[in-house]
Amino acid sequence: MINAGVNEKSIFILIGNGTHRPTTNNEKLELAGKDILERFPVFDHSATDNSMLIHLGENFYVNRRYLESDLKIITGMIEPHFFAGFSGGRKGVCPGIAGIESIKIFHGFEFLESPYTKPGNLENNPCHIFATEFAKRAGVDFIVNVTINKNKEITGVFSGELEKAFLAGVEFCRKTSTCYANRKYPIVITTNGGYPLDIDFYQSVKGMIAALEIIEDSGIIICVSECRDGVGSENFRKLLLEMKTPEQFMEKIKQPGCFLDVQWGVQPLVHILERARIFLISRLSKQDAELCRCVPFANIDQALSEAYNQYGENTEIAVIPDGPYTIVQMKKDKHE
């Protein structure tokens, strides 16, 4: 950038927090590194600070600093996403630096209830369509997206025009992340991919969603996820405390005009609970695990022993080592 004639003092970094809390100084250091932090200002986006948002018409609200910049470069990682199909690309703008009114739509009840809203799918996916239109309205001059392997090593770099570069990365990710099953299983073991994605239960739902494609009705999903930061945000905990039954929660959020903060974290959990029971191996207390509608276990052996008690020791199980990073499909759905 400097060699291209851009003054170093005019460059800043904007973290796409979406609705998440601001990053701490240590997190900024982990994300950007000491040298970058010392040379360039780093800002957190706030979805609820109206003074820092610009209205682009209809339901499109975007970060003011971003929109007023002359050159807009989006960075990100392309991986399977439990309702946007894939992360990366347009998601750096929406929900990354979108206003809360826009995020209410992207994370809204109707979008998340669509049968097209699932990992690995972009076709007719309302989340993908909305986020792409949002990013195009806000303007993106260039993107730099990467894919990684299970060791967190970069496997590909996809840069250039917003949609072309993103779709090239998606196709690479699809080929390296998709696995196929011949049948459904009564027991499926999954994880949330390790740190930092398994930092709390709110994030851990992503790994369980991957198992839905191959779990038998009323089966058992065994999820291994550290959850070092506990259940999640206070608002997420509040929703779980107020949820008398999954059915009651869904009835509430589908009412016109109703939108609860982080309801998009509970809604996919309800989809899982409608299909399966959750055995959870984590740092959560027994009380918190039960608040999340899970059966807690101290280790994988104990969870497997109980699952075998219910289905028999000769029961075949499926294992998804990296749930959030895996697209699971039945072989009959494979497109040649």
How many angstroms separate the first and last alpha carbons of the chain?
43
Q: Which of 45, 55, 81, 107 is catalytic?
A: 81
C-alpha dihedral sign at 176, 161, 38, 66:
negative
Query: How far are the Cα atoms of 94, 132, 181, 189 from residue 222, in angstroms, in the given order?
Result: 32, 34, 18, 5
Q: Which of 100, 318, 75, 315 is nearest to 189 (CA)?
A: 318
Around Cβ 285, how many Cβ atoms within 10 Å?
12
20 in active site:
yes
128 in active site:
no
22: tokens are 């601001």
Q: Residue 252, CB half-sphere, CA atoms under 13 Å: how many? A: 15
**Residue linked to tokens 């970069």:** 154
114: tokens are 């669509």
How many Å apart are CA 16 and CA 279, to the nearest integer? Answer: 33
Active site residues: 20, 81
